[in-house]
Structure 1
Amino acid sequence: MAGIRLAPEDPELSSQQSRGAVVSDLISDDERSVAADSWSIKSEYGSTLDDDQRQTDAADALSAANFPPAPSSDYSSDKEEVEAEEAVQSMLGLQSYWDSAYADELTNFREHGHAGEVWFGADVMELVASWTKGLCIDISHGQLPNHVDDTKSELVDQGDKYLSTWSVLDIGTGNGLLLQELAKQGFSHLTGTDYSEGAVQLARSLADRDGFANINFLVDDVLETKLERQFQLVMDKGTLDAIGLHPDGPVKRCSSSF
């Protein structure tokens, strides 16, 4: 019977393969997770980088540490993304979320003088305030909204005369910057409410600092409002969204009275 001759074993190659197997076995998923988490970089105010950037940084860190790459998986991340989105939606509808958010913004104001987030951006806020001014002037003059005639420019020039009679309520006022913009347009009877006490504290502090101490701010939940007076103009820039994002959103939407 013919014999089978095996190729001579390369001692160096065999040793390298053996060491590689040992290193691979010793590095656990937990160690990979720790290395990746160490590269979850946060911004000045604690917001994390986007997922793609975090994954890139984590891969670079693993590579630099000579860690073998994590095994590929066929598991779809769609479920995780949906669950994360649902969690955000639930949080944005909870008062505890806004209390925490405005506590941070109030701290940033006290320590750095920052006004906080301008919803939809400063340009949009100015545009909304300007449009609101024109609308209220038209209504005060007995015109239908969007009606245009030769007296339009004259009415805008004399806007303060008309706007001084308007009482304005901004529900979910947050930092109150929209009311400051309305005050710049000529409105004088301005009230802002929010169910987060931190938001009201921040709005008052900003108004005092910026020279709008005449703006009135109150802690009030629009769904259980304790306000007894009526307003000619009620504004909302995100409160309905927050109500809809509450876990009991459909019920709360039906009970809202504005």
Structure 2
Amino acid sequence: MEGGEFKASQLGTKQYWDSMYVRENVNFEEIGDIGEVWFGEDSVEKMVDWVTDNIEPNTKSIIDLGCGNGHLLLALAENGFQNLYGIDYSPSAVQLAKSVAKQRDMEYIQYQTVDFLNEDDWRQSAVYDIVLDKGTYDAICLDPAQEEAKQKGEEGPKERYVEKVRQMMGTEGSFLITSCNWTREELIRDFGKYFEYSSHVKYPTFSFGGQTGSKICTVAFTPK
């Protein structure tokens, strides 16, 4: 994959997310706050709207990669979906997601602690109809290991991510990703080896310096 890259950041490390979700578990236990909604409520609503517009509840399996506190899956559950799965490499995130789901009587949402980029034997036979990502690819691109791999001319977490997502899907599934670091064109480029662009979600735009764009983008892909 060619094109722009981002410098490594603590946002790309497991240590950062573990410590953050330890704090958010404490907050949830003390005041019932489930924690931050990354990219805001609007991004969640847009992704849920895309899913509800394209599939009927419980006819497809849906997995959220890097589910965090599970907010996206909770929103889908509120819209009648039950065949829901969430994975995250942070045990503290999964603990929080399970606690929130239990509080809301949504324990049918299945959460699991999985570092899917580095666990080759993880559910290799499992195939999901809809794969969701809200910010996880962004974080992976900030992993210091990505910069190290680039310097060595090797495949890094960013490339492994694209391959893993493709392995999770059948021939007729959909992959829906929301990013604040990459434009629609850049995501189409990065995922073009295994995926075809299908559609995108429209967000309010702004103009600055003669350029027009939006703060985030949500793009849908189908497997090649």
Q: Same fold (TM over 0.5)?
A: yes
8 Å contact kept, 1:93–1:245: yes
Could you tell me how far 1:232 is from its partner in structure 2?
0.6
Corresponding residue number in structure 1 for 2:135: 238
Could you tell me how far 1:113 is from its partner in structure 2?
0.9
Corresponding residue number in structure 1 for 2:123: 227
Show CA shifts across 1:62-100 (max 9, x none): xxxxxxxxxxxxxxxxxxxxxxx95xx420111011000
Corresponding residue number in structure 2 for 1:211: 105
- Whole-Å separation in 1 of the counterparts to 2:96 and 2:11: 19
1:134–1:102 distance in 2 versus 1, CA, 3 Å = same
When the two chains are superposed, the root-mean-square deviation of aligned CA atoms in Å is 1.6
8 Å contact kept, 1:171–1:239: yes
Identity of aligned residues (%): 41
Corresponding residue number in structure 1 for 2:60: 166
Write the mapping of 1:36-115 to structure 2, written as runs, cut at 5 A: 89-115=8-34
- Whole-Å separation in 2 of the counterparts to 1:123 and 1:223: 28
Report the TM-score when normalising by structure 2: 0.62
One-letter amino acid of the counterpart of residue 127, structure 1 = K
Corresponding residue number in structure 1 for 2:157: 252
Write the mapping of 1:98-177 to structure 2, written as runs, cut at 5 A: 98-136=17-55, 162-177=56-71
Show CA shifts across 1:9-42 (max 9, x none): xxxxxxxxxxxxxxxxxxxxxxxxxxxxxxxxxx
* Corresponding residue pairs, total: 147
SS of residue matched to 2:9: helix
Which ranges in structure 1 are unaligned for 5 or more consecutive residues? 1-84, 137-161
Q: Higher relative contact order at CA 8 Å, sep ≥6: structure 1 or structure 2?
A: 2
8 Å contact kept, 1:130–1:185: no
- Whole-Å separation in 2 of the counterparts to 1:172 and 1:204: 14
Structure with greater helix share of residues: 1
- Whole-Å separation in 2 of the counterparts to 1:188 and 1:130: 16
